[in-house]
Amino acid sequence: MIVDPDKNIVYLAEMKSSQNGVDVARDPNGPSPRARLEDWVRKSKGPWGDNQPGENLHLSKQIQKVLASGGEVRGIWIKVEVPRINEGSGGTLQMVLKNYE
Amino acid sequence: MSDIYTTTYKRWKKRDKITAELVQNVPVKKKAFAESGLIEYSSYENTDVTEITSVLADLGSYYYVLLGQAVGESLKEGAFVTTDYEKVYSSLRLLNACHLFWHIYFNETSRGQHKLARIDEYDLFIYVVMSVFYSKKEFATASSIAFYALNKELVFFFGEFRKAATQKFIFKLTAQFHGHTSKEIEQLDLYEPLFDELLNHWDDEDPSLVLNELLLKACYRHTHHSRDGNSKEGFDFEFIGVHHFPLEILFIFRLREWRGLAMPTVEHPIMAPPFNTLPKETEPTYSDELIDGVYARIRHDWPNFDSTLEDVRTLYF
């Protein structure tokens, strides 16, 4: 997650990988990026104790402020081909970035 | 029949373990972070009126920590420490009022062009349930906020991923109690036949015929839902502060009391004192500098804050 407070946008990245090429990497499925963020915010209240790093408190508040002020949520779908390793040599890592709703 | 209605969840944490965790492991940093945000707001460190959005975030964390502390102390003392709950309630009531007010204001000014963070079903659920600890007047106010938010679809549910059956049951029962009907509330899918039965039997004259057994099943179910969720499945009572707090049962007890009906008898470990009954109803009188300061700033920035919420109340009561 990346927050741009000046533009009032939260970017939510979701990575899907495959060893059979970037085109075969699965689509992000399930709830919309906005719904995922709203759920993340709810969960961020939950853990009891101070195990979470302090940055999470700031991040959660920044995200909540963006969401509460009508800001935008942009989903970024990162498709990655993870190369197979053959006899000790790795292949080429391929990555494609797309928007998703 | 599924054993979630007839057995206690085998990993339901023991009461003394939960008590120790709640009392000894208070998230003090999270609490201090929220408190400092609320102090900043009430001291006008940022005079932008839209800073109300930061209050929503801070109050959300603040009441959560206070609730865990209140429950921890109750379990430790074996008694309902009423001041602790009033403190929780004062911040929770303000949170829900602020959130609804902001929606009404924002939607009017933006004419629905923007999406706004929805009201968390959990915040609204805890508010409605806790309002019956106090008085019919408090319950009516909380109910009006819930009805408005639900009817305008301003409440965030996570669909199939978090069924929130108890939360929806409480909203439906609240509507039924007040005789409020709306298609939005009727359409809330409970995903839980037990709650459908409870909606039919909560006000039975004789609880010994059906209701006692249904409530016992609800106690067992509560234990099965008292655990952490994951990315594929959510549970109704993920917060450890409510693992041993049978909110839904006590809610029904109070509604029956208000209807002059006999108290049900439920024997289950979750109903051990102090959570076997609710304290006598009363008007909440707690106030402190922190919450009073936030109210003062909101009323300064938004002179129509109280009248807007009063308008919401008069829609239903």
User: Each residue of B21-71: pLDDT tens digit?
Assistant: 999 999 999 999 999 999 999 999 999 999 999 999 999 999 999 999 999
Looking at residue B27, what is its pLDDT? 95
Please choose, from the candidates B302, B277, B307, B282, the residue with its C-alpha nearest in 3D space to the C-alpha of residue B89.
B282
Q: Do B53 and A64 touch (CB under 8 A)?
A: yes
Nearest to A50 among B28, B113, B240 (CB): B28
Nearest to B57 among A39, A54, A64 (CB): A64
CA distance B316 to chain A (A): 26
Please count the other Cβ atoms lying within 10 Å of the Cβ belonging to residue A33. Answer: 22
Looking at residue B109, what is its pLDDT? 77
Phi, psi angle pair for B308, to nearest 5°: -65, -45
Q: Do A38 and B21 touch (CB under 8 A)?
A: no
Q: Do B117 and A57 touch (CB under 8 A)?
A: no
Segment B205-252, tens digit of pLDDT: 999 999 999 999 999 999 999 999 887 788 999 999 999 999 999 999
Q: Do B115 and A34 touch (CB under 8 A)?
A: yes
Q: Do B21 and A35 touch (CB under 8 A)?
A: no
Please choose, from the candidates B123, B119, B120, B30, the residue with its C-alpha nearest in 3D space to the C-alpha of residue B69.
B30
DSSP β-ladder status, A94-100 and A72-81: antiparallel
Confidence label for B167 from pLDDT (cuts 50, 70 and 90): very high
Segment A11-63, tens digit of pLDDT: 988 888 877 777 777 776 778 888 888 888 888 877 788 877 777 889 999 99
Segment B72-107, tens digit of pLDDT: 999 999 998 899 999 999 999 999 999 999 999 988
Q: Do A68 and B56 touch (CB under 8 A)?
A: yes
Stronger pLDDT, B34 or A89, i.e. the higher one: B34
Looking at residue A87, what is its pLDDT? 60
Chain A residues inside the 8 Å CB shell of B33: 54, 57, 61
CA distance A23 to chain B (A): 25
Looking at residue A56, what is its pLDDT? 84
Q: Do A50 and B30 touch (CB under 8 A)?
A: yes
Looking at residue A43, what is its pLDDT? 83
Q: Are A9 and A74 in contact (CB under 8 A)?
A: yes
SS3 B249: helix
Nearest to A64 among B25, B28, B117 (CB): B117
Mean pLDDT over residues B194-212, rounded? Answer: 98
Phi, psi angle pair for A100, to nearest 5°: -145, 155
Chain A residues inside the 8 Å CB shell of B64: 45-46
Complex ipTM over 0.90: no
Q: Do B158 and A35 touch (CB under 8 A)?
A: yes
Q: Do B33 and A57 touch (CB under 8 A)?
A: yes
Nearest to A48 among B57, B68, B115 (CB): B68
Separation between Cα atoms, residue B260 and residue B35, nearest integer Å = 41
Q: Do B56 and A35 touch (CB under 8 A)?
A: no
Looking at residue B106, what is its pLDDT? 86
Stronger pLDDT, B279 or B143, i.e. the higher one: B143
Confidence label for B143 from pLDDT (cuts 50, 70 and 90): very high
Pick the residue of A3, A36, A39, A52 with the most B CBs within 10 A to test the interface with B by mutation: A39
Looking at residue A13, what is its pLDDT? 86
Looking at residue A89, what is its pLDDT? 61
CA distance B57 to chain A (A): 6
CA distance A92 to chain B (A): 31
Lowest-confidence region among A91-95, B221-225, B255-259 = A91-95
C-alpha dist (Å) from residue B191 to B123, B165, B229, B309: 20, 6, 17, 32
Confidence label for A88 from pLDDT (cuts 50, 70 and 90): low
Looking at residue B39, what is its pLDDT? 97
Q: How many domains does one find in chain A?
A: 1
Looking at residue A1, what is its pLDDT? 84
Q: Do A68 and B117 touch (CB under 8 A)?
A: yes
Whether pTM > 0.90 for this model: the answer is yes
Strand-pairing partners, residue A95, are: A80
Looking at residue B171, what is its pLDDT? 98
B positions 231-250 inside 8 Å of A (CB): 238-241
Whether residue B126 is predicted with pLDDT greater than 60 in this model: the reply is yes
Average pLDDT, chain B: 94
Looking at residue A32, what is its pLDDT? 85
Looking at residue B282, what is its pLDDT? 94
Looking at residue B270, what is its pLDDT? 97
High-pLDDT (> 90) share of chain B, %: 88
Whether residue B1 is predicted with pLDDT greater than 60 in this model: the reply is no
Whether residue B130 is predicted with pLDDT greater than 90 in this model: the reply is yes
Chain A residues inside the 8 Å CB shell of B162: 39
Mean pLDDT over residues B112-127, rounded? Answer: 87
Angle (nearest 5°) at CA B91 between B274 and B149? 100
Please count the other Cβ atoms lying within 10 Å of the Cβ belonging to residue A75. Answer: 19
Residue-number span of the structural domain to which A21 is assigned: 2-100
Stronger pLDDT, A46 or B278, i.e. the higher one: B278
Looking at residue B107, what is its pLDDT? 81
E strands along B74-229, which residues? 119-120, 155-156
